[in-house]
Every structure is written in C-alpha cells, then in structure tokens.
Amino acid sequence: MLMSVAVSDTLFRVAVALCAVAQLFILKAVFSPGPLPMGGPAEAGRAAGRLRPASRPLEMAWVVLPAVGLVFLFLWAWQLKHSAELASDADPVAVAFAEAAR
C-alpha cells in the first residue's frame, strides 16, 4: 500500500506512543504493585500454595529487559525505513555505489 512519508511516520509515532503507555503499565505492576484482592480463587490458590517470594531487583530486571528490546527494535525499524526512503530519493548512480560498497 502506497502511503506518504508523513502519514507513515505519524502512524509509527502514534503506535510507538501507545506501546510506551502499555509498557509503562507493565512496568508499574512490578515497580509499584497494588494490594492483593481478598477472596476468590486467587486467595484459595495462595492459601493452598507454598509460594516463594521472588528477588525484587531481579523481578525489575526481568520486566525492563523486554522493554529495552522493544526500544531497539523500534529504532532499528525507523532507521531502516528512512534509510530506504533516502536511497529511493537519491541519485541512482550514488545508490549503485552505495550498494556496491556494502
């Protein structure tokens, strides 16, 4: 589908902003967890269980790691898309030289 650069960039920015909000809520569950609700199957499960407390710094590391991966992926995608657009706008001879130099 042909899409102008401006529309494509706006779509990317809006989507990444939504992902950032979602990722913040994911981080919040680990960094500042709310009180556990009482009653229901969760409490029955906890009562039946022998759950071991997890190391908090490690929990934080586990939740940050995928977020860092996402940031790198989005930067990579942005850079790839824009380098492709620059190449298509450039002088064909210069593009041929750039291809040969890779």
Distance CA 80, CA 74 (A): 10
Distance CA 32, CA 51 (A): 20
Q: Which is nearer to another protein, 36 or 93 (CB)?
A: 36
Per CB under 8 A, does 2 bind another protein? Answer: no
Taking alpha carbons only, the member of 1, 15, 4 closest to residue 77 is 15
* Token couple for 14: 């809006």
Out of 5, 10, 31, 73, the residue judged to bind another protein by CB under 8 A: 73
Out of 6, 47, 68, 93, the residue judged to bind another protein by CB under 8 A: 47
Subset of residues 50 to 69 that bind another protein, contact rule: CB under 8 A: 50-52, 54-55, 58-59, 62-63, 65-66, 69
How many residues make contact with another protein (CB under 8 A)?
47
Largest CA distance in the chain: 72
